[in-house]
Structure 1
Amino acid sequence: MKFLLDVLLLLPLLIVCSLESFVKLFIPKRRKSVTGEIVLITGAGHGIGRLTAYEFAKLKSKLVLWDINKVTAQASCYFLALKLQTLFYIYVHMPCTTKAFLPAMTKNNHGHIVTVASAAGHVSVPFLLAYCSSKFAAVGFHKTLTDELAALQITGVKTTCLCPNFVNTGFIKNPSTSLGPTLEPEEVVNRLMHGILTEQKMIFIPSSIAFLTTLERILPERFLAVLKRKISVKFDAVIGYKMKAQ
């Protein structure tokens, strides 16, 4: 009962914050400069990672590019973190290695950690069990890290999470949904770069996905089942994922 009363007392603050957020929708946020900043991009050899590297290069950042290497050990990750700790600023994260770099970033109170997740990290999709599970974990990582930085009053280390709909990267064969056409990587990266430079916490592409994630928390389960059928997520196969013949 006391908790409910405490929440009611917060209603005036809710109204003020809501009005503030509404006004900010009409005020373009200033994009920060990343000229000369060190940018580490994992998965930089292909897809979104590669295109993101090109965009940061255009902005005159200093790039450290990583991709899969079977002989790379965990020790090399920490070695690089040690080498960069006095210079390291922006970190584009496609979940792997935050633990190694976060201490220097918090010490300098400067940096930006970007988690590339998916809309599938908020809304489940049948027959994408492993993929959805990993993306739910990525979204949870972003949210928890954001809260921990706030609890530690580390205001200079920013966080962003990218959550697009199906992207034309070849991972899923012939995807489709009534939410819109399959996204091209270039479109996703343009939105990602804008989100990083304006320090957005969560980037949904298309924006309607944010509305759907809210609906999922408040609508009756039976209605949600009908709504998901209307959204009509379809695909032929997940590349590299063998489904047992029926």
Structure 2
Amino acid sequence: MKQFNNKVVVVTGAASGMGREYALEFARLGALVAMTDVNEKVLAETHSMVQKITDKYTCCEVMNIASQEDVLAFAEKVKNKLGNAHVIINNAGIGGGGAPVWAQDMDQFQLTMNVNFFSVVSMTKAFLPQLLSNQEGAVVNVSSVFGLIGTPGTSDYCASKFAVRGFSESLMVELADTPISVHLVHPGGIKTNIAKDSKNGAEFEEKYLKTSPLTAVRIVIDGIKTGKQRMVFGHQSSLLRFLTLLPLKLRNWTLNREMSDLRDPEHYELLSAMGEK
């Protein structure tokens, strides 16, 4: 897809960070933007910013992205208000529980998978008929550099982003003979608020989250235009990509050493106590 003027672009997680920048940038490019997020107040701010850029129709919906019923209703609303979607940006996500496996309960694993992975499946299935009806379209699924490599204290998050990767790579093959392109995005170190709720979120942000969301969004849009199927970018993404080439034992040692200062001592006291039982 080479241009987006008068095309319908759907963005999830549009209230802030990369999601907001997707909505604003596509509005600048002349698209009809449909945006959704669970945060009503901040989504309204994004919608207001979009309306200052364009006088074209928009669609704004507060929605629980993890609800399949809500996703199907949103897809129908977009179609009725704006027409069939041309591009879907599956951007919504949460940072996960921020704890090692033994310190994290199953409810957190389920929540992270529902928001980060199953919502991508639901959105894709809901909107794919619209893209096919247009005989033109792009599905953009946002994984993470943590969808390339497992890191400590992020098992639920990594699992969800690895799942997005596997789903997207399969979808690429399945849609290879159609006019629909599939793009898998692995951002690294983007300066968003995704880590704000974790115990060491501020420390993690200061150390790793450096790349501006707008820079990331423009890389993705260029990738859609050129048909690039995998995009890996952002602060320290090259280093993490290099680590995937190392023997697993050496990679694990390197990651353990690099991220040891972000450990919560209480989690490892719990691990010791478990071993004493």
TM > 0.5 between the two? yes
Q: Which position in structure 1 is the counterpart of 2:247? A: 220
Q: How many residues align?
A: 206
Structure 1 residue 204: Cα displacement = 0.5
- Preserved contact between residue 18 and residue 213 of structure 2 (Cα < 8 Å): yes
CA gap 1:127/1:212 in 2 versus in 1, 3 angstroms: closer
Which of 175, 179, 185 in structure 1 is aligned with 2:204?
A: 175
Which one has a larger percent helix, Structure 1 or Structure 2?
2
Q: Which position in structure 2 is the counterpart of 1:24? A: none
Q: Which position in structure 2 is the counterpart of 1:47? A: 17
Deviation digits for residues 34-90 of structure 1 (CA, Å, limit 9, x no counterpart) = 100001111111111111100000000001111124678644532443462863212
Q: Which position in structure 2 is the counterpart of 1:126? A: 152
Query: What is the aligned-residue identity percentage?
Result: 26
Structure 1 residue 214: Cα displacement = 6.8
Q: Secondary structure at the match of 1:88?
A: coil
Unpaired runs of 5+ residues, structure 1, are 1-30
1: CA distance, partners of 2:267 / 2:239: 35
Deviation digits for residues 136-188 of structure 1 (CA, Å, limit 9, x no counterpart) = 111112111111112xx11x10111111112221332222799x763222222
TM-score between the two structures when normalised by the length of structure 1 = 0.70
TM-score between the two structures when normalised by the length of structure 2 = 0.63
Amino acid at match of 1:99: K
Q: Which position in structure 2 is the counterpart of 1:81? A: 75
Amino acid at match of 2:213: P
Q: Secondary structure at the match of 1:52?
A: helix
CA gap 1:107/1:190 in 2 versus in 1, 3 angstroms: closer
Alignment of 1:200 with 2:170, yes or no, is: no
Alignment of 1:162 with 2:188, yes or no, is: no
1:1-246 superposed matches below 5 A: 32-68=2-38, 69=62, 74-82=68-76, 84=79, 87-94=84-91, 95=120, 96-150=122-176, 153-154=177-178, 156-172=179-195, 173=201, 174-175=203-204, 182-206=210-234, 209=237, 213=241, 216=244, 219-228=246-255, 232-233=258-259, 236=262, 244=267, 246=269
CA gap 1:215/1:130 in 2 versus in 1, 3 angstroms: closer
The alignment's C-alpha RMSD in Å is: 3.2
Amino acid at match of 1:167: I
Higher Rg of the two aligned structures: 1
